[in-house]
Amino acid sequence: MSAKFIFITGGVVSSLGKGLASAALAALLQARGYKVRLRKLDPYLNVDPGTMSPYQHGECYVTDDGAETDLDLGHYERFTGVPARQSDNVTTGRIYSDVIAKERRGDYLGGTVQVIPHVTDAIQEFIGSDLTDEDFVLCEIGGTVGDIEGLPFLEAIRQFGNNQGRDRSCYIHCTLLPYVRAAGELKTKPTQHSVKELLSVGIQPDVLLCRSERDIPAGERRKIALFCNVRESCVIPALDVDTIYDVPSTYHREGLDVEVLRHFRMLEDAADEAVDLSRWREITSRVRAPEGTVTIAVVGKYTNLLDAYKSLNEALAHGGIANRVKVELRWMESELFETEDPIHHLEGVNGILVPGGFGERGAGGKIEACRFARERDIPYFGICFGMQMAVIESARNLAGIREASSTEFGETKEPIVGLLTEWQRGNVMEKRSVADDKGGTMRLGAYPCVMDPESRVAAIYGSRNISERHRHRYEVNVGYRERLEETGLHFTGMSPDGILPEIVERKDHPWFVGVQFHPELKSKPFDPHPLFESFIAAAVKQSRLV
Ligand code: GLN
């Protein structure tokens, strides 16, 4: 293991954008040709965020290897293109459950099991695990310095740095400089306190990333440097930007990557010419100068918390970047359509998207949205639950299966969508039962899908074979295939064994696609997902018709 480790902590307040900052720094190092890896250490007690409400914690990001992880891993993957893995996210819950399992097995040979060293050792083991030839491993510590839960993690990274040597580890602390209007000043005191708090657990930050709404005057930078014991050039202003994709370039201008390289005594590599930011410049210039606008209605349930649909939000923006248009999103509570005619809300939109979701509440409204899109030739994109609802809609309104439903909503005579308890993953048969624990028991992670070569989706992907990420318990029932295909809803993507419908599409419609997987998880600004690119292209076309 020859990697250098960068630890990112946060202070003063939460929601400073530490995840984005970590992703942006990784992108900068990558733009210099280094191999990077990003990890998130979350101090909460859930074993993983899979069971957490998206209202509380935002989206649950799923990796190829089937881990349900923190949404910051989505930022990491979007900014670097490096596929996130199970081994990139850990929580206090997982660490403790491993330590306790070891204790039960007797692995500690009669010793007293304690936070230090057993828990901190387990955290350090995680930090150094599953690495190959990475140049830099960036580990973000969730939460804010001073939280009780975070202490074992801070202690573990302190020990890790000590064991590795200071030239192999760097501590970046992300803080806030609030602007106090009455005084007309940016205040440095909260930052000073936060650094003191870090020092009290033995960590001297090497770089301070100072989030601020306004320019930080040189005098304030000097003051922070003096009081926080860092070099002045290591007080990096991190001002708000108009697009998140400008963060790497902004940090570069402020010298973040150079300071990190200086810390590691790698200044010989720090020349400005060695960093290629052209991909980020291209993205930001497209974001800032779109050639048009399309409006997409996203009909879901967690529409009042955008973090619940983080990747979706980004993937739609990527579709816009690819088509050089701005994508305006209209988030709508699907329940609205259960009492009101969708026309009042959906007229004039250029595309309708029903995203993933769980539970019966609002399902009727989503089905109405599908119907509206289908009948009025508005581009429709159904993702996971959105595909299931589209299938139920066609079954009920076109195939005459009036009682078509999903067993997710209770027993039904017509389980168009049902619980599948066995499926093939590689060479392994995965089994689930209704009574299983809720955590980690869905069809999770990457599964292959084979497409009909004549289909629209095969043309969109430019290939017949794809692999996409899943997170669901229920499946469209292949037993209804024929009756549904007669209505024009074609099953154009299937699992390789032909049992699980993965993609449906309508051929009698300008753009109507439902997918059982979550394509939004793999979209990147510099490599927009083909389905999002195509969906937005269809919306652009639609906008020219109205
Ligand atoms: N609730 C549905 C299922 O479990 C869909 C899940 C989703 O949209 N991610 O199958």
- Asked if 86 contacts 63 with a C-beta cutoff of 8 angstroms, the reply is yes
Q: Residue 524 has what pLDDT?
A: 97
Kindly list the distances between the CA atom of residue 139 and the CA atoms of 99, 134, 160, 316, in Å, as whole numbers in the listed order: 21, 13, 12, 28
Q: Residue 341 has what pLDDT?
A: 84
- List of domains in the chain: 4-284 (3.40.50.300), 291-418+474-543 (3.40.50.880)
Kindly list the distances between the CA atom of residue 540 and the CA atoms of 54, 91, 482, in Å, as whole numbers in the listed order: 31, 43, 33
Q: Residue 342 has what pLDDT?
A: 82
Protein residue closest via CA to atom 3 of ligand 1? 472
Catalytic residues: 384, 518, 520
**What is the C-alpha separation between 13 and 172, in angstroms, rounded?**
16
From 388, 389, 500, the mutation candidate for ligand 1 (largest count of ligand atoms within 8 A of CB) is 388
In the β-sheet with 169-176, what is the strand arrangement from edge to edge? 89-91, 36-42, 136-141, 4-10, 169-176, 207-212, 235-239
Does ligand 1 have an atom closer than 6 angstroms to the CB of 385? yes
**What is the C-alpha separation between 433 and 442, in angstroms, rounded?**
10
Does ligand 1 have an atom closer than 6 angstroms to the CB of 366? no
Does ligand 1 have an atom closer than 6 angstroms to the CB of 473? yes
Dump the DSSP string for 441-473: -SEEEEEEEEE-TTSHHHHHHTSSEEEEEEEES
CA atoms within 13 A on the CB side of 400: 2
Q: Residue 262 has what pLDDT?
A: 94
Query: 193-215 burial, b for 16+ CB within 10 Å, e for fewer?
Result: bbbebbeebebebbbbbbbbeee
CA 253 to ligand 1 center in whole angstroms: 43
Does ligand 1 have an atom closer than 6 angstroms to the CB of 526? no
Strands (E), 290-433: 293-300, 326-333, 351-354, 380-383, 404-406, 414-419, 422-425, 428-431
**Which value, in Å, is the radius of gyration of the alpha carbons in the chain?**
25
CA 238 to chain centre: 22
Does ligand 1 have an atom closer than 6 angstroms to the CB of 356? yes
Taking the CA of residue 355 as reference, the ligand 1 atom at the shortest distance is 8
Task: Per residue of the chain (546 residues), give pLDDT as tens.
Answer: 589 999 999 987 887 889 999 999 999 999 999 999 999 999 999 888 877 877 777 889 999 999 999 999 999 999 999 999 999 999 999 999 999 999 999 999 889 999 999 999 999 999 999 999 999 999 999 999 999 999 999 999 999 999 998 889 999 999 999 999 998 889 999 999 999 999 999 999 999 999 999 999 999 999 999 999 999 999 999 998 999 999 999 999 999 999 999 999 998 777 777 889 999 999 999 999 999 999 999 998 866 677 889 999 999 999 999 999 999 999 999 988 888 888 888 889 999 999 998 889 999 999 999 999 999 999 999 999 999 999 999 999 999 999 999 999 998 898 999 987 655 666 666 666 656 655 556 889 999 999 999 999 999 999 999 999 999 999 999 999 999 999 999 999 999 999 999 999 999 999 999 999 999 999 999 999 999 999 999 999 999 876
Does ligand 1 have an atom closer than 6 angstroms to the CB of 472? yes
Positive or negative, the Cα torsion across 57, 58, 64, 66? positive
Does ligand 1 have an atom closer than 6 angstroms to the CB of 384? yes
Would you give the DSSP letter of residue 542? H
Q: Residue 117 has what pLDDT?
A: 95
Axis-axis angle for helices 18-30, 256-263 (nearest 10):
70
**What is the C-alpha separation between 331 and 82, in angstroms, rounded?**
30
- Asked if 64 contacts 77 with a C-beta cutoff of 8 angstroms, the reply is no
**What is the C-alpha separation between 541 and 357, in angstroms, rounded?**
28
First to last CA, the chain: 59
Q: Residue 116 has what pLDDT?
A: 94
Percent of residues in the chain assigned helix, strand, coil, to nearest 5: 40, 25, 35
Protein residue closest via CA to atom 10 of ligand 1? 474
Q: Two tokens at 255?
A: 């010298």
Strand 185-186 relative to strand 179-180: parallel, antiparallel, unpaired?
antiparallel
- Record the pTM: 0.92
Q: Residue 192 has what pLDDT?
A: 94
Residue in 382, 297, 325, 246 with CA at minimum distance from that of residue 540: 325
CA 52 to ligand 1 center in whole angstroms: 15
Would you give the DSSP letter of residue 493? E
Q: Residue 306 has what pLDDT?
A: 77
From 68, 366, 385, 521, the mutation candidate for ligand 1 (largest count of ligand atoms within 8 A of CB) is 385
Residue in 179, 232, 207, 283 with CA at minimum distance from that of residue 523: 283
Does ligand 1 have an atom closer than 6 angstroms to the CB of 357? yes
Residue in 265, 250, 260, 134 with CA at minimum distance from that of residue 205: 260
From 474, 475, 476, 477, the mutation candidate for ligand 1 (largest count of ligand atoms within 8 A of CB) is 474
In the β-sheet with 443-451, what is the strand arrangement from edge to edge? 326-333, 293-300, 351-354, 380-383, 512-515, 501-506, 489-494, 443-451, 465-472
